[in-house]
Structure 1
Amino acid sequence: MTPAPEQCRTTTLTITVSDEVRSLAPGFTPLAVEAHGLVNGPSDENSSALLDDATRRLAARLGGRAPHEDPHVAARDMYTAFGAKPSRTRNSAEALAGRALTDTGLPRINRLVDLCDAISVPHLIPVGGEDTDRIRGAMRLVRSTGREGFPTVAGGETVIEHPEPGEVVRCDDESVTCRRWNRRQGTRTRLTEESVNAVFLLEGLVPTTPAELGAAATELADHVEKMSPGVRITLRGPE
């Protein structure tokens, strides 16, 4: 259901990274692309073509190597700092890259989610999308206390999980929106076919450079403008 007009965000979203998270990953570089006035909908030929092209670009980049052998993905080893096993807790970029190289390929979700995946895969950078009309207050990347709620679905039913203490999570004033840094997004703020305002979060760990992250963000913004003529876009770092 589309949020009521009084619920829609009209101001710039505040996004912060806690000192605790920065101490885990020196050189961590986040970048946000905030967009207002989007036109989303079911996956179509254009979004499918972007995903196919992303798969081809990934295969050329890897040259027969596995995704985890790329230096950008190897940075996942820092996940051990908050108790996650990198071989089991793959970030979203590595998980998508693995799917892209299988016979089934990348999933088709909706145009905006397809675009996120089409940028994430060839750049091997986690790219998350959040519906800003469903975000409450500021967004923060923090280490969990273990008491925060995480709305998700299990067995077709809505359930509330709780992150492990110390786990890196993204949250707003209401709940956790993404667990294990950028591995698993919740249901409350995910992008749907009705989403008209969103923030796309690109995250780079060393050796990803600010220039590489900026190139991925610019590519994403260019495609957003093509998909949604008249959209208002802002690119910025965290506060």
Structure 2
Amino acid sequence: MIFRHAEAVRSAHPGLAAGALHATGVDGTADVEARVAARVAEYTARALARLAGGPESGFPEVLAWRRTFARMGLRPTRYRCASESLLRRLRKEGALPRIHPVVDLCNAVSVAYAVPVAVLDADRITGPLLEVRPARGDEEYTTFDGRTEHPAPGEVTYADSAGRAHARRWTNRQSGHSAVREGTRRILVVAEAMHEGGEDTVARTLETLEKELAALWPVTPVTALLTDADPEFRLDDHARVR
């Protein structure tokens, strides 16, 4: 399977910095959950320390996504990128929700670096292509409560080869269809940034996730930074895609 951003997206958003990670062998057992909790605490503490200096709405990383959403015709205070939503919740509640060890780790790293981090169950993606592209309008998006929606034509979404949408409004809302769950074993993680210096932030985000995943699970993550010159991330040929 290939993951990439469509040329239309890259052309419309030249400030995009992105990277991807693939790993096989994760789980959500009680043993790993306890170890993940300690790592989550460290990364959320970093985010809380930064929030002590001012709300997330003033972070350059968040402001860049707000400008991006505005360019797409979305009201930024109604539709927030995933990292802003998590930071806002962390600021108000002092902690992030516990969902699944893999998701909890990715969310904690997301708030630590203030950039959206999507983690998908790779076996719930229909290959050979997962592309961030403008929607046609006939893609099917599954909400977390099981309802089916159709992204509006032109809305940026993660779309697979079967026409299933794995996100609404780009980094705003992930699909329940490919959400990590108890039986997940293979993941695709994507980090994206729009701010100046985003390439470095994405690189550090991926390095952190690679290190943490390898320390917590018997996995050997594969990562790549995606650029205009090299925009595709190819999952291993032996990886199974449904």
TM range (shorter): 0.7 to 0.9
SS in 2 for 1:33: strand
Name 1:116's counterpart in structure 2: 106
C-alpha contact 2:137 2:150 (8 A) present in aligned 1: yes
C-alpha contact 2:103 2:180 (8 A) present in aligned 1: yes
CA distance in 2, matches of 1:27, 1:228: 34
TM-score by length of 1: 0.88
Q: How many residues align?
A: 223
Query: Residue by residue, what CA displacement relative to the aligned partner does 1:5-49 show, whole Å, maximum 9, x if unpaired?
Result: xxxxxxxx3111112211221120110011012233368332222
Query: Residue by residue, what CA displacement relative to the aligned partner does 1:151-175 show, whole Å, maximum 9, x if unpaired?
Result: 1244xxx221011221111111120
2:124 alignment partner, one of 125, 134, 147 = 134
CA distance in 2, matches of 1:78, 1:103: 27
CA distance in 2, matches of 1:152, 1:121: 23
The yes-or-no answer on 1:163 pairing with 2:154 is no
Query: Residue by residue, what CA displacement relative to the aligned partner does 1:65-103 show, whole Å, maximum 9, x if unpaired?
Result: 110101110002111222211111110000000111123
C-alpha contact 2:51 2:91 (8 A) present in aligned 1: no
C-alpha contact 1:24 1:78 (8 A) present in aligned 2: no
Name 2:81's counterpart in structure 1: 91
SS in 2 for 1:106: coil
After TM superposition, list the pairs within 5 Å mapping 1:7-26 onto structure 2.
Answer: 13-26=1-14
Aligned-pair distance for 1:132? 1.0
Name 1:4's counterpart in structure 2: none
Name 2:236's counterpart in structure 1: none
CA distance in 1, matches of 2:14, 2:36: 35
Query: Residue by residue, what CA displacement relative to the aligned partner does 1:195-237 show, whole Å, maximum 9, x if unpaired?
Result: 11111101111224322211110110111011112x1311113
- What amino acid does structure 2 have at the position aligned with 1:28? L
C-alpha contact 2:36 2:216 (8 A) present in aligned 1: no
Name 1:188's counterpart in structure 2: 177
After TM superposition, list the pairs within 5 Å mapping 1:189-228 onto structure 2.
Answer: 189-228=178-217
CA distance in 2, matches of 1:188, 1:108: 19
Q: Could you list the runs of 5+ residues in structure 2 that have no partner in the other structure?
A: 233-242
**Deviates further, 206-215 or 68-77:** 206-215
Name 1:30's counterpart in structure 2: 18
- What amino acid does structure 2 have at the position aligned with 1:116? C
Q: Could you list the runs of 5+ residues in structure 1 that have no partner in the other structure?
A: 1-12
Aligned-pair distance for 1:104? 5.5
Name 1:152's counterpart in structure 2: 143
C-alpha contact 2:35 2:216 (8 A) present in aligned 1: no
Instruction: Specify whether residues 221 and 61 from structure 1 end up closer, same or farther in structure 2 by C-alpha distance, changes over 3 A only.
Output: same
Name 2:240's counterpart in structure 1: none
CA distance in 2, matches of 1:143, 1:33: 23
